[in-house]
Amino acid sequence: MLITACKSNYIITKNIELDSKNDLYVSQKILSDGAENYEIFATIKFNESYRKNKKSWAGFLLKTNVNNGLHGKDSGYMFYIRENGEIGVHSSPQSNNEIELTKYLRSLEYGEKINVKILSTDNQLKIYVNGKEQFAINDMKLKGKYISANAGGADVSIKINSFKKM
10 within some domain: no
Q: Are 149 and 16 in contact (CB under 8 A)?
A: yes
Q: What is the pLDDT of residues 21-77, one digit of tens each?
A: 776 888 988 877 888 899 999 999 999 888 887 888 999 999 888 887 888 788 889
4 within some domain: no
Q: Are 118 and 62 in contact (CB under 8 A)?
A: yes
Domain of residue 140, residue span: 16-165
8 within some domain: no
**In which element (H, E) is residue 46 found?**
strand 38-49
125 within some domain: yes
Q: What is the pLDDT of residues 117-160, one digit of tens each?
A: 999 988 899 999 999 999 998 877 888 899 999 999 999 999 99
Number of domains composing the chain = 1
47 within some domain: yes
Q: What is the pTM of this model?
A: 0.88
